[in-house]
Amino acid sequence: ARLEMRRRCTWRIFQSIEYSCEQDQIKLHNFFSYLMDHFTPSSSKERDFISRMLTEEESYKDTELEKLCDYESVEVPDSYTGPHLSFPLLPDHATALLEAFKQKHQLHAHYVLKLLHETRRHLMQLPNINHVSTCYSEEITVCGKSGRDLPFVPFSLCGICLYFLFSYVFNGDFVDRGKQSVEILIILFAFLLVYPKEVHLNRGNHEDHMVNLRYGFTKEVMQKYKVHGKKILKMLQNVFCWLPLATLIDQKVLILHGGVSDMTDLELLAKIQRHKFVSVLRGKKRKEKSRRVDSKAINGESPVGVDPPRSSSFPGSCLQPGLASTASTASRTELSQWVRQTVQEELEKCRRQVGFCETPGDKELTCASSVTVTESELESCETSESSQEEWKQIVDILWSDPMPQEGCKMNTVRGGGCYFGPDVTEKILQKHSLQFLIRSHECKQEGYEFCHNRKVLTIFSASNYYEIGSNRGAYVKLGPDLIPHFVQYQANKTAHTLTMRQRISRVEESAFRALREKLFAHTSDLICAFKGYDQDETGTITLSDWATAVESVLHLGLPWRMLRPQLVRSTAGGLLEYKSWLDDLAVEQRSKEHIQSSLLETIYRNRSNLETIFRIIDSDHSGLISFEEFNQTWKLFSSHMNIELTDDGISDLARSIDFNKDGNIDFNEFLEAFRLIEHTHCDDKAAEMAVSGCPNS
């Protein structure tokens, strides 16, 4: 019983931290999107550059894509010893790839681009919802996330090579959070082309270039294909958006990555032009429309504040406020002030959501802003209702999770999609005459789990997802009777040698290490929260107050009182000396990196966001920020933070960050500059405190 309790607590830690990171990703993207939606470029060149940062071409003409792909221009040298591919692919090619990847060989960029080109051509012919029949295939195997286990892929696919009667459905999340995502994707695409009637791929929420920026796939591609990585990433973006959204077995079993909502409509899903949604995080399609302002606003009366529309699929998102336009030049100045104030208020909301703290002068700066709003700025983008509905349909099936309670509500834990209850599931099943749903999206300790009266089956195929021994992988086989038969496994040999106690201890240690890093990253906020309970300034608080304060800062929904013995080693009389406890956390992290504690806290808190920001600015995925990219991005920020810099000033700033003077800014230089800025900020604060006679706490 104690081991089971430890196992469950460990699991909650891992999941809470994982979902917290997904929230950060969505908030960060929304923040950049908001900046871009309210940025007025001074030239067409500037507009084109800024639009490339977070947006991609929704669709390419065949001629444009062939030029982009251009695999024929990528020569394969005679010295290349890896696998060779010729098209159309044959079974021997696919099995040769498996063997080559087992031997740590890499497929040449020429063959990767050609494979992606052929995969896209095949996917374009497929419907949004694939239909698979057990009459044609004696048995259908459904696999969940496989982005970590390369050994799993040949293990499950070997049946295709021997038995052509079997079909396979891979339910999304082929990439990210693993070191071999490229190889897994290549294997899946190769088998898809060799056996187009037997292999079926659904899109997951990680088949999205914006998600790839944060979770490692973009970085992996650029590391493995330094010369042609940019071409490969562009092709992958276009391939991902052509992946089918769902699969239907015998018209009775619906397979989709995330789940459903009370608005899910399979008929509408079947009609959506799925390739238009290159990134689901980008939100909806928009069209330019002029809107008339309320007569009160035109007549000079105080206009009612307009809140930005909120998406039930992305609860934390800051989408475009509906700005007004007017034909009256007399009231333009007044209206301009209202618009500017509304925009700045929403910008500050976004910045606070993302965690960008407001400096003491920010508020005055915002109020004193003298940005001129032109007539074109006052013409806003109004969301197309049909496109918005299509976008929401896709978001819900890729990001949603089931919940035990009835109803449908926003998924505030992940930051995207929704939570759907048993009643929502039953409604969908009855409406479309289905027996049950199969979905993935959530790691399960046994590799699978039923809920909603066994009407929803979660299947997760990546074993050891959080740590070696943390979970099994599983896939499910369905015959003509549609009765699920499960196969569970551990892809890591070490996991087989561990006892249950050893396995739980190992996973528990990893979970608490991650949690202590999370706590350390919020040291400053925790001190403020602890002081709120330490009114007498004794430096101690009760353990109950400690638990309440920690949750108020981290918002992880964890049972802190139960976790306290692993996090708080010593207490005196039931009281915790919180400063010494935080010092112990700092010592533990400093033992890994020799950095000043306050700087290290900032790095731990922001490194993931900083790396994502770096890759967003690095719009051509070169691994380097050019001075032009830096220049345009700085204009984007400064236009909303009322910081005026000349082009020469921005260039000087870029050169100061380019420590090795090679004309570009790499991530280490970017991170180092951030640390230096933080260091200067801390020194300035200390100096201010010293002048005012305040203790530097």
The residues annotated with a catalytic role in the active site are: 206
HSE of 204, CA atoms in CB hemisphere, 13 A = 25
DSSP category for residue 541: E
Structure tokens at 464: 């050891």
The string of DSSP codes covering 457-520 is EEE---SSSSSTTS--EEEEEE-TT--EEEEEE-S-HHHHHS-HHHHHHHHHHHHHHHHHHHHH
Q: Is the bond preceding residue 404 a cis peptide, omega within 30 degrees?
A: no
**427 neighbors 262 (Cβ within 8 angstroms):** yes
Residues 6+ apart with CB under 8 A from 535: none
| DSSP classification of residue 167 | E
Residue type for position 492: N
Strand segments (E) across 109-223: 129-132, 139-143, 166-171, 199-202
The Cα–Cα gap between 452 and 679 comes to: 52
Location of structure tokens 């996991």? 495
Question: CA-to-CA distance for 61 and 52, rounded, in angstroms?
Answer: 18
Q: Can you tell me the distance from the alpha carbon of 102 to that of 82, in angstroms, rounded to the nearest whole number? A: 12
Pairing of strands 253-255, 436-439: parallel
**Which of 684, 589, 255, 198 lies closest to 441, judged by CA?**
255
Is 425 within 8 Å of 260 (Cβ atoms)?
yes
Q: Which of 635, 666, 631, 671 is nearest to 651 (CA)?
A: 631
- Candidates 28, 156, 221; CA nearest to 487 is 156
Distance, CA of 500 to CA of 652 (rounded, Å): 59
Nearest to 169 by CA among 131, 205, 135, 211: 131
Sign of CA dihedral 410, 415, 417, 419: negative
| Rounded Cα gap, residues 672 and 662, in angstroms | 16
Distance separating alpha carbons of residues 373 and 326, to the nearest angstrom: 12
The answer for residues whose C-beta is within 8 angstroms of residue 317's C-beta and 6 or more apart is 26, 30, 283, 310, 311
Tell me the sheet residues that pair with 458: 439, 449
3 state SS of 287:
strand
CB 443 within 8 A of CB 432: no
What's the distance, CA 123 to chain centroid? 24
Q: Within 10 A of 647 (CB to CB), how many other CB atoms are there?
A: 10
Q: Which tokens hold the place of 589?
A: 């992290």
- Cα–Cα distance between 367 and 578 in angstroms, integer? 38
Beta bridge partners of 142: 169, 476
C-alpha 512: how far from chain center:
23
